[in-house]
Amino acid sequence: MTPVESRIVQSIQYSPHALNRADRAVRCAPFCLPLFLAMREQGIDLKAIAGSDGVRHNYTRQPLLELAAENQLLWLIQVGVLRREVDGQGLTDSFRLTPMGRQLLNRWHSTGRLKPVSLFDRLANAINRWVRLPNWLQ
């Protein structure tokens, strides 16, 4: 591959359904936009997100138990927004944005904040999260 070819970046095309579900999942999560901005640049460790550190870094509005933060982050992995970082030993406790997460971040960054969450958004997110339909039914 030539240097010119390596600079060409093709964006992945996601279905509107997948993007809407991921957008809703992020907006329903207890995380703030600065967390996702930081995850664009580097992996963020779970310990920096949970507890009082999360509030101090402006990653969360209120302290979260580590287990609760991890459960929320794992849901964002399932919808395609995040991935776990890997090092030479295997998986780590750090999380980073995926290409889908970067596309969504570009949308949010232009407004400077996440769109407000409605009751319908919370209900739809809960249904998507707890009643997982097979892909062929979605």
Query: What pairs with residue 82 in β-bridges?
Result: 97
Band of the pLDDT at 136, cuts 50, 70, 90? Answer: low
Confirm whether 29 is domain-assigned. Answer: yes
Instruction: Give pLDDT tens digits for 53-88.
Output: 999 999 999 999 999 999 999 999 999 999 998 887
> What is the identity of the amino acid at 89?
Q
Band of the pLDDT at 6, cuts 50, 70, 90? Answer: very low
Buried b (16+ CB within 10 A) or exposed e, 10-33: eeeebeeeebebbbbbbbbbbbbb
Confirm whether 101 is domain-assigned. Answer: yes
Confirm whether 117 is domain-assigned. Answer: yes
Confirm whether 24 is domain-assigned. Answer: yes
Q: What percent of the chain has pLDDT over 90?
A: 64
Confirm whether 107 is domain-assigned. Answer: yes
Structural domains in the chain (count): 1
Confirm whether 63 is domain-assigned. Answer: yes
- Structural domain of residue 60, as residue ranges? 15-122
Confirm whether 1 is domain-assigned. Answer: no
Per-residue confidence (pLDDT) for residue 94, from 0 to 100:
93
Task: Please answer whether residues 128 and 76 qualify as being in contact, where contact means their C-beta atoms are separated by less than 8 angstroms.
Answer: no
- Collapsing DSSP states into helix, strand and coil, what is residue 68? helix
Confirm whether 95 is domain-assigned. Answer: yes
Instruction: Give pLDDT tens digits for 97-122.
Output: 999 999 999 888 777 777 889 999 99
Where residue 43 sits, what CATH number does that domain have? 1.10.10.10
